[in-house]
Structure formats: C-alpha cells, structure tokens
A and B are shown apart, each in its own frame.
Chain A
Amino acid sequence: MSGEITHIFWSFGLFIVMLFVIGLYCVLMTYNLVRALIGLEILIKGVTLLIIVAGYVSGHIALAQSLVITLIVIEVVVMTVAVGIVFGIRHYNESLDTRAIEKLKG
C-alpha cells in the first residue's frame, strides 16, 4: 500500500470515526424515536462511506459499489419497518417519547 493511498484512507477514516460518534451519540442520548432512527441513518452513512473508501484504495471499487447497493436496499427495508413500528407506538401512546412507552413492560 503506497504512502499516498495510506494517507487517503486514514484521512477519510478520521471523518468516518467522527460520523460514527455523531450517530452513536444521537442514538444514545435522544428520547425521541424518530431522532433515534435518524442517528441510526447517520451510522449507516458512515458504514457506506467506509465501504466505498476501502474499495477505492484497494482497487475493488466495483465490488464495493455492489456491496453498497445491497446495503442501501437493506437500509430502506429496515427504515420502512422501523417507521411503521414508530407509527404504531405513536398511535397507542400518543407520543414519540421513549419515556412514555409503558405498554411494553411485562
């Protein structure tokens, strides 16, 4: 791995870690269900960028694109079902606040 390629990978790596920190902080610190999903989306954006950068520096960009397309399909399905569940929770609890969800307690 040449010096320039290493430099590109680790420069991107720094920003990817920052993106992970933002997403993780959002998921952990929020009480709003929609915001938690938005945090999850930011985490997925970080993963997408990581796959693309890894493909770019290793010369396997076609494979990386194929994996990213699969990732996007999975992301959409997960988000659609998650939004449906959030919708159901809002319908029963009249709120998107996680502290108001008490009907799951056994």
Chain B
Amino acid sequence: MTLNIFILLALIAAALWTVMTRSLLRSALGLALTSIILTILMFQLDSPLAAVFELSVCAGLISVLFISTISLSLPLSEQEWMKHMRERMARFWFLPLLLILVAVVLSFMNIKPTIHLPAPDKIQDVRFVMWHLRRFDSMGQIIILLAGVFGVVILFKEKIKK
C-alpha cells in the first residue's frame, strides 16, 4: 500500500505539471507521463490487460495526436507569449493551493462509510467477461469507432471546387 501511495503522489504531481507547465508540448508530454504512471498503478492493482491498453493507446496514440496538433499550430510572438504567460499564471497559481486544501479537508473529514459489496466474481478471466458476458459492449465499441471514422472523414473532406 505504501508503494501505491508513492505512485499516486507521482500521478498527482505529473497531472499538476501537465496543467501548470507553460509550454503546450510539455503539457502533452506530461499527459503521456500521467498515463504511464497510471499504467504502473493498474499493474499494481492486478489489471494487466487494461494497463497495456492504457499504455499503448493513451500514452502512445493520444500523445501523438496532441503533439501533431500542437506542431501544426502557429507559434506566438515573444511579446504575445509574455502577455499570455502573465495571464495564465494569474489564473493557475491557485490550483496547487486548492489541491492542498481539498486533500486536507478530505483527510480531516475522514469519510469512510461502510460499503456493502456483492460477493466476489468467480470468473476472473477478462477474455471470458469481454467475449461472453459483455458481448454487447463490443457492438457498442464498433458503432462508436464507425461514428468516429465517419466524423473524421466529414471533418477533413475536401470541398469540391466549382
């Protein structure tokens, strides 16, 4: 449990850095780092398959998407950059304090109601659950993927010149 607490602290630190850092590129890299730390945590919690998905898709694919968008956007001039940074700092300096406040308040409140849980599952094979018990989810995933593909096609469709 102590190790998990350290990993959770690293997760919060990475997420905070992602939000607070000045550069957008560093922000995207921070998000990838957050995903990697979450992957380690998922391995710790006996979820290897979901962890592999998180690592390959969230830390890999989504980071590539963000970095390519950032690299295609126009950089600001030095004057604009300074003005932008001053504005940003004025809006974001409060976040670490807010986090500390939330942590302290929740720790002191000590909310620990007893939760009544169902009996543990006898089936521990994720493949069985995915393909037999949650088969309908796969249908939903296919429909969502198709919706995404058509959405991107429509967004990037070239206009026919008359």
Interface residue ranges, A against B (CB under 8 Å)? 1, 6-12, 14-15, 17-19, 21-23, 25-26, 29-30, 32, 34-35, 37-39, 41-42, 45, 48-49, 52-53, 55-70, 72-81, 83-88, 90, 94-96
Contacts and interface: CB of A to CB of B under 8 A. Distances in A.
Contacts of B72: 87, 90
Contacts of B99: 18, 21-22
Q: Is the interface of B mostly helix, strand, loop or mixed?
A: helix
A12 B8 contact: yes
A1 B65 contact: no
B151 A45 contact: no
Given A10-B112, A11-B5, A64-B47, A26 B19 contact: yes
Contacts of B16: 22
B145 A48 contact: no
A75 B56 CA distance: 13
Contacts, number: 209
Interface of B: 1, 4-5, 8-9, 11-12, 15-16, 18-19, 24, 27-28, 31, 34-35, 38, 41-42, 45-47, 49-50, 53-54, 57-58, 61-62, 65-66, 69-70, 72-74, 91-92, 95, 98-99, 102-103, 106-107, 111-112, 114-121, 123-126, 128-130, 133-134, 137, 140-141, 144-145, 147-148, 151-152, 155-156
Contact of B46 (A17, A56, A78, A83): A56
A30 B41 CA distance: 28
Contact of B15 (A35, A42, A64): A42
A15 B107 CA distance: 11
A68 to B, nearest CB: 4
A contacts with B: majority SS:
helix
- Most B C-beta atoms less than 10 A away, residue of A34, A59, A62, A73: A62
A25 B94 CA distance: 10
Contact of B38 (A29, A49, A88): A49
B34 A42 contact: yes
B27 A25 contact: no
A10 B155 CA distance: 43
A74 B54 CA distance: 12
